[in-house]
Amino acid sequence: MVYFFMFVGVLLILTVLSVVVKLSMDSKKPKNEFRTQKGEDGQVEFIKCPVCNTPLTKTENLHSRVFRPMNTPDQRMMVQGCPHCYPEIQPGVRRVCPVCRASLSKDDELVARLFNRSDKKKHVMIVGCSICMKIKK
């Protein structure tokens, strides 16, 4: 009889442990929450792709190139787009330059300036695209 209760106790402990492990694994999965930031007026707003204006989730990043030197406060940067519009354009997504409003092909890029602030934060300012800046590919 003692062995029966020990067997039931071990089964109960293993069941509880498997439930705890499953719950902890579920909580570590990345959630598709959108990236947000506080605007100048204090309102919370979504961070959007500057090319296609699609809101970005916390797991999505922009495709870009930053030119050297890396230790200067101001650098040139080329932005290709987000996973929705680069390298393949998803259906219904339109790539547009925020400066000149020209329709961009998959090969066109945005020209930007990357400011490296002294407080380790970065700020990007879009100045045009490869069409309105007349950059040859």
Q: What is the pLDDT of residue 29?
A: 52
The model's pTM: 0.68
CB-CB contact of 49 with 110 (8 Å): no
CB-CB contact of 77 with 113 (8 Å): yes
N-term to C-term CA, the chain: 82
In tens digits, the chain (137 residues) has pLDDT values of 888 888 888 888 989 888 888 777 665 555 568 878 777 787 888 889 999 999 999 899 999 999 988 778 889 999 999 999 999 999 999 999 999 999 999 999 999 999 988 887 888 999 999 999 887 65
3-state secondary structure (DSSP) of residue 22: helix
